[in-house]
Structure 1
């Protein structure tokens, strides 16, 4: 996909020749920057040999290919004083705030460059465990000043291969308005601070493969900070993702949107450490001490368009919610946008809402540990459209009560999008589907590890729903396995309920019409009205 500097005559610049000292104490910013600047004159390689080389902000340049040798470590300074503010030219909701440039601090910074790479068997360490950087979550101005490890803006042809990335002070990799990005064979361990996303992608033409990720915050996170830049043509494959937050996430920033995204052959599991989240302690009904929030989270809440997403062959363990798809409307303002409207107060406003359509999720094997079931939801007057779910096995925790089975899930389109935006208990044990047009579930198997009084599937305000060969555990009480509320054109083909004799379908509300059930040996009590 990308071409590395391979000219046999390309110049090589060893940072030691510019005065760098690898003792882990000497501040080498000027020496390393001098090597980068010199290399930029001819194009070539900047070599970081064995040793620990401390530095503040380094500015990457076009045609400079950094090679970190085995045993070499490029380590960020633990002090704010070594990270000056950077007034970047490109404006979006990350780089600008309130019409003014943010500090945009970074360890490795680039804007408007082409043909750069960082490769080798060495390590980049962001010193995120520094006392100066431990400022809590980024909901305070001081905490937002922490430097990203890599902040790459409006640049093209960027390659990172094989290196280890660890201990960032803020987001580890932040690519904004970039094109032609290749991340291969990376090892990421990020467990020392808040907001330690492993990979944040606001870019086009991206390949992420064979990466091993272990992060406190989101794993692979697609972000869209500008309505003028849609994230497109992204492939993620053959990655191992461990996280205390969301493993694969679209959003939360979702102004422009995401198109033509393919994610395949990945494994998802709990992070190896949990110094901050403690979900089992801080939330209700979490079934084990360390969990991922959502395995797959697809979120449009800032007006963006999500279209043509294909996700397949994903094995998940230790997740609270396997699949979380939400179309909301926070009304967030981006740089230069004067059409601000706010729905965060809880009101329902369809103005400026985005869209989610053409989502295919296939071959998923998931084990979950919460009462927040998988879901596909929008809000009144707005619909998610054209969703196909097939060959999915959901092994769910269960333990839902009769009262929880009869509860109503609130509408909350202005909330921060996360599985608990609707509460910590859903009225379904397997899938909650609301405000959706044209959705199919084919060969989806629901399992319960504990008795549960909730329906496996709830369908609410759905127009054209197709359930084909779904396998459902009977509920512990008299709730039907499938609850249909105010929906139209619903068909159920060859359902399997275990054991038979319990209600299969319950129709609720005044607007239900056109329900077809086929390939099912009906018995007394299979339908509840």
Structure 2
């Protein structure tokens, strides 16, 4: 009897322990069960929000959006809730601007009120959006209803932690597509973004965020595709962007324009750019940010206006009430390697600090840029203004740049190694123009034949510049013309011809 009782007790305890050890499965709430209608016409904001609120109240889980077209205004995600869009499911943004809320508003670089969103999340943890469905903002219809003053983002996460975005199609926002602000621990993978037809149709904006991974995404955007921003004095750091395919009407990879906080420890690699109308790699500090420890590698571009541009300026804007203006920032410790450009127009690389504020400690290596070669002798005579406080963009100095390969000024400690330029036609501009340079190395360059009477390179007020291992076509063209009273310590290969103007001190040039 005792033996039977003990056996029964052991079996009961074992079963109880097994039940206790089984993890609690997350709940799933289908939005249809909370009153939503997928006919594409019924406004479901209240029903979808009820499903999200119920899910988080029950400890978290999945809010399921089944196949259908589900019209909604602003909905807010909550902690421990994942929004799952099934295949053939579409969340449709309401076309009535009155159905949208502002989510932690701010002003953009042009002073416009921003922050309205179709899907928002504020101060929550463990959330995200997954699945094979679509989120369609119907941006053009929203804009027509009065959305030009509010311009809702498609998705906006504010001060959130542990955010996962995976698999979904994002399309037709009125402004930016996917905006993360002051978030930590973000993963965005396998996203498909089509954001075209309206101004400010950015792809992914990473704003004052830490520990971010963006991978295996396809972005077709009217405005900047991948954009790092700091719209407040908090840093953007520890970010990995890799394996992204881009087609954009503006910039492919952009740091700024809004740049009040620092950008640090950011790696961008394995990027395919089909087309970028307003720049391939764009690094801007104009509102006081310190840009430091940036690595960009393995970038393949088909067609881009100005493949690489770096700009340190002093616009010094603020974007939120209570923020104070920063002093001029810095751009240091940047590495750009393994870049191939099939067609790069305007100029291959433009790097410009401002007087007394240098871009410094930069390496550009293993870069091949093919240019159309349509520059004229008149283009070579263009003088670029400083425009210290202007909005930074590739067209800020005009669409004609006097050098076809590299225009560089107000820089120090920069190394240009293994740079190859090819040209479809014979360009009449210099390959290189530089002003106010210190500690520069130009080595292992291959430069095509050029027309006109301009030298291959024109440098002014340059100190400690080494130019070596330059491969030129077989012509008698002057390689370098040096000017400026501050020039000195120029070391150049013996086979390269040099001319100087009367302002250059004696013994400024040494041939080796």
TM surpasses 0.5: yes
Match of 1:344 in 2: none
Aligned runs of 1:18-33 on 2, under 5 Å? 18-33=34-49
Return the match for 2:335 from 354, 360, 371: 360
Alignment of 1:25-424 (within 5 A): 25-41=41-57, 42-86=59-103, 88=104, 93=107, 104-130=115-141, 132-133=143-144, 143-202=148-207, 203-227=209-233, 229-270=234-275, 291-337=276-322, 352-424=327-399
Secondary structure of 1:210's counterpart equals: strand
SS at match of 1:324: strand
Question: For the aligned residues, what is the CA RMSD?
Answer: 2.1
Aligned equivalents of 2:60, 2:323: Cα separation in 1:
43
User: What is the CA-CA distance between 1:19 and the residue it aligns to?
Assistant: 1.3
Specify every segment of 5 or more residues in structure 2 that has no aligned partner in the other structure, as ranges: 1-21, 502-512
Residue 331 of structure 1 deviates from its aligned partner by 2.2
Deviations 1:129-175 (A, max 9, x none): 2164477xxxxxx6241211111111111110011000111111111
Q: Contact 1:168–1:196 at 8 Å: present in 2 too?
A: yes
* 8 Å Cα contact 1:254/1:299 also seen in 2: yes
Deviations 1:444-464 (A, max 9, x none): 001111221111111211100
Residues 480, 504 of structure 1: 8 Å contact kept? yes
Partner of 2:341: helix, strand, or coil? strand
Q: Give the match for residue 139 of structure 1.
A: none
1:53, distance to aligned residue in structure 2 (A): 0.6
Shift, 1:338, TM fit: 6.9
Cα distance change on mapping 1:217 and 1:406 into 2, 3 Å: same
Paired residue secondary structure (2:404): strand
Q: Give the SS at the match of 1:105.
A: strand
* Equivalent in the alignment of 1:286: none
In 2, Cα distance between the equivalents of 1:134 and 1:297?
Answer: 34
1:333 to partner: Cα distance:
2.6
Per the TM alignment, residue 192 of structure 1 is displaced from its structure 2 partner at its CA by: 2.6
Distance 1:240 1:163 in 2: 16
Offset of 1:478 from its aligned partner?
A: 2.4
Q: Does 1:498 align with 2:473?
A: yes
- Single out whichever of 6-15 and 499-508 deviates more from structure 2: 6-15
CA offsets 1:246-286 (integer angstroms, 9 cap, x no match): 0110011000121011000011122xxxxxxxxxxxxxxxx
Q: Calculate the TM-score normalised by the size of structure 2.
A: 0.89
CA distance in 2, matches of 1:31, 1:501: 77
Q: Contact between 1:22 and 1:52, CA under 8 Å: does it hold in 2? A: yes
In the alignment, the residues of structure 2 paired with residue 369 and residue 174 of structure 1 have an alpha-carbon distance, to the nearest angstrom, of 29
CA distance 1:381–1:7, change in 2 (3 Å): farther
Would the aligned equivalents of 1:372 and 1:424 in 2 still touch at CA under 8 Å? no
CA distance in 2 between partners of 1:82 and 1:338 (Å)? 30
CA distance in 2, matches of 1:220, 1:157: 20
Deviations 1:9-64 (A, max 9, x none): 11111111111111111111111111101100121011111111111110110000
| Secondary structure of the structure 2 residue equivalent to 1:145 | coil
Task: Compare 364-373 and 294-303 and name the one that shifted more.
Answer: 364-373
From the CA coordinates, give the structure whose radius of gyration is larger. Answer: 2
Is the 2:85–2:133 Cα contact (8 Å) retained in structure 1? Answer: yes
Contact 2:344 2:369 in 1 (8 A): no
Aligned length: 478
Whole-Å separation in 2 of the counterparts to 1:73 and 1:131: 17
Shift of 1:372: 4.1
User: Which residue of structure 1 lines up, in the alignment, with residue 459 of structure 2?
Assistant: 484
Alignment counterpart, residue 430 of structure 2, candidates 440, 455, 477 = 455
| CA–CA separation in structure 2 for the residues paired with 1:403 and 1:353 | 34
CA separation of 1:420 and 1:104: change in aligned 2, threshold 3 A: closer
C-alpha offsets along residues 178-214 of structure 1, whole Å, 9 cap, x if unaligned? 1111100000011132211011111111000000000
1:14 to 30, 36, 39: 30
How has the CA–CA distance of structure 1 residues 442 and 7 changed in structure 2, closer, same or farther, with 3 Å as cutoff? farther
Query: How much does 1:420 deviate?
Result: 1.0
Higher relative contact order (CA 8 A, sep 6+): 1
| Alpha-carbon contact 2:273-2:300 (below 8 Å) kept | yes
Change (3 A) 1:96 1:377: closer
Query: Within 2, Cα distance between the matches of 1:73 and 1:190?
Result: 16
TM-score w.r.t. the length of structure 1 is 0.87
Q: Aligned to 2:278, what secondary structure does the other structure show? A: strand
Partner of 1:138: none
* Distance in 2 (alpha carbons) for counterparts of 1:145 and 1:311: 34
Give 1:93 shift: 4.8
